[in-house]
Amino acid sequence: MNLSVKILLSMLIAAVVGVVINKFFLDYGFVQNYLIGKYGFFDVVGTMFIKALKMLVVPLVFCSLIGGVSGMDDMKALGRTSGKAVTLFILTTMVAIGFALSFATSFGVGEGFDKTTAETVAVSIKEAPSFGQVLINIIPDNILGEMASGNMLAVIFISIIIGISISHSGIEGERISKFIADLNEVIMSLVNIVMNVAPYGVFCLMAKTFAEQGLDVFIPILGYFLTVVAVLLIHYVGTYSGIFFIARLNPFIFLKKMRDTLLFAFSTASSNATLPITMRTAEEKLGVSNSIASFVIPLGATINMNGTAIMQGVATVFVANVYGHDLVFVDYLTIMGMSVLASIGTAGVPGVGLVMLAMVFTQVGLPVEGIALIIGVDRLLDMMRTAVNVTGDAAVTVLVAKTENKLDMDIYNDPKAGAYTPIDINSHEHDHGHKA
């Protein structure tokens, strides 16, 4: 079986196991202490898997971006790339929130819903930093400290500055550039090693989620849940296919090659944790140049949130209908604007989806405690919207590469390009100096 099939099977089996545990064994002490509880088997293995992915993010972005920037012949290309990427991120986010508001309003989600749940559940939302503070935090006062904390905007800034410096440092810069390129290859090998254990990590993450959530949590707000899922699917297929057709690229090739990345994103519910897999897919399966992928994908993982914007739009209409709050045209414009700005302004904030939602609620006059109505199903929806987010990152990366003539069409059209092959970590036979 290939990796996609293994992960998909592990997810399905985990869902069944989790639902059975939730239905019949949830109150057993052994299950709580040794399976799904804190430091239980599922928690330990799942957390270790996510940490294994996250530990690769900073060194991978650092090395890839330095290599990409230092190898650019024309530094103006960096400005063009960033401009195109940010513009496409904003446009796709606006399309996403537009879909969400249209569908949620048309179906009247939340009308006639009992809001007593919101009065009994306490909601604690972290305060988002101001946009000015986000800009200040991009420039670090301690490079190693920012890398250790995983501040991706700062890591991107550091990498770009070092890459530019290397390109202007002559022979010394060339030596450093070669070392960084070799280090990047080693880190990509580490990504493949982590992918070896992906089915087991995914199983534990999914089993824990379904054991804790069960299916009963979806019944009261099934309308909201299904509306978000429907809009996510429409945006995933419709929007990305549409822009690929405009760019004269086959969207079905793109969607097929994103399978592994989607499964990783769905199981981890983290764009940053999935970032090593997204970059590997963009370069090795889709044929994007490293100079483009190393910049656009980390930037997208930080500020591009199409899936989160969809959740915000549906959730805002849902809570407005529950509380009998009539949204006017200005409110809809405010929601669209806030969704775009908040995705940048809350970059790197834990639980960013709910932070952004609280900001939107405040701007349109909705009670923040309304979040309690939807928080029960947010984990599973977070997994789905993360999958849409990383697809958006990769789609924009491919489109920017196409416009910059940095897309290898032979690799893009090759169905076997970048196919995953398991690594035998016990083998000591390595071909040093040769790169496929």
Determine, yes or no, domain membership for 170: yes
Tokens (6 digits) for 240? 């990305």
Would you state the pLDDT for residue 195? 83
Q: Across the chain, which distance is largest between two alpha carbons, in Å? A: 71
Determine, yes or no, domain membership for 434: no
Determine, yes or no, domain membership for 205: yes
Q: What is the CATH number of the domain that holds 284?
A: 1.10.3860.10
Determine, yes or no, domain membership for 433: no
The Cα-based distances of 128 to 83, 358, 361, 389, 411 in angstroms read 25, 9, 13, 20, 41
The proportion of the chain whose per-residue pLDDT surpasses 70, expressed as a percent, equals: 88
Determine, yes or no, domain membership for 167: yes
pLDDT at 5 over 80: yes
Determine, yes or no, domain membership for 300: yes
Q: Which of 322, 354, 406, 300 is nearest to 127 (CA)?
A: 354
Determine, yes or no, domain membership for 132: yes
Would you state the pLDDT for residue 434? 42
What's the mean pLDDT when you consider all of the chain? 83
Determine, yes or no, domain membership for 209: yes
Of residues 362 and 122, more confidently modeled: 362
Q: Which domain holds residue 212?
A: 3-413
pLDDT at 161 over 50: yes
With tokens 């009065």, the residue in question is 119
Would you state the pLDDT for residue 423? 56
Tokens (6 digits) for 176? 């450093």
pTM of model > 0.85: no
Residues 116-155 have pLDDT tens digits of 655 545 555 556 666 677 778 788 888 888 888 777 788 8
How does residue 424 score in pLDDT terms, banded at 50, 70 and 90? Answer: low
DSSP secondary structure string, 340-397? HHHHHHTTT-TTHHHHHHHHHHHHTT--GGGGGGTGGGHHHHHHHHHHHHHHHHHHHH
DSSP 412: H
DSSP 309: H
- Domain tally, the chain: 1
pLDDT at 74 over 80: no
